[in-house]
Amino acid sequence: MLKQAEGPGKIQGLVGSALAPLPLTPNQWTLLSVAAALAAGTVIAVRQDLAAGLVLFAVAALLDLVDGAVARARGEVSALGGFIDGVADRFVEALFLFSFMFYPLPIVLVDPKIWLAGLVFLGACMPSFIRAYADHKGVMTREKALALGGIFERSERLGLVIIGLAAGMLFSMQLFVYAIILASALSLVTIIQRLVEISRQAPQPKV
């Protein structure tokens, strides 16, 4: 496992060292990733150009990796930078999903916009909110809140959506809608898992 983890870390180190001399702060790299995602969403929603939009979203994803690499290379890692990066991640994910609300998708039971909105709420918003709110209200320690997991977190969610989109582009966009529905359902399961775990670990009222 250690050797597998060294590869990406070494690559990020090389990227950070190469880009650190540029006159851009880590937070500015983060904002560039949001700008690229905004351009990608606009291309998909307005121009209906799915291929170009996906290329721009790929650029946004790469820029999201650059900010952390540059921060480490410069020795500028900070809690504020991590916070901004996390907020930017949610913006990028939401822009990706929202852009498809303006793209012609087939109806599966209901308007696909409903499924997309459901995934934004159940996937991008609620799991993170539950974790942060549990810490904020003191029902569990910050360490335990950060350790809250579930069967379907952000990496799994994005992976399923991307696989569904690839299948949709190759065969039928109905498959993409099915992937959105499945991702929403599994995100709901993750929310329930976290709520159950918080209830189990929270201090019980004295009687």
Asked if residues 58 and 96 have their Cβ atoms less than 8 Å apart, the reply is no
Active site residues: 89
Question: Please, what's the b/e burial string for 185-198 (b: 16 or more CB within 10 A of its CB; e: otherwise)?
Answer: ebbbebbebbeebb
Collapse the DSSP code of 137 into the 3-class scheme (helix H, G, I; strand E, B; otherwise coil) and give the result.
coil
* 2 and 59 Cβ atoms separated by less than 8 Å: no
Six token digits for residue 131:
């974790």
- List Cβ neighbours of 161 (8 Å cut-off, separation of 6 or more): 96, 97, 119, 179, 180, 183
Neighbours of 25 (CB within 10 A): 15
Contacts of 89 (CB under 8 A, 6+ apart): 64, 154
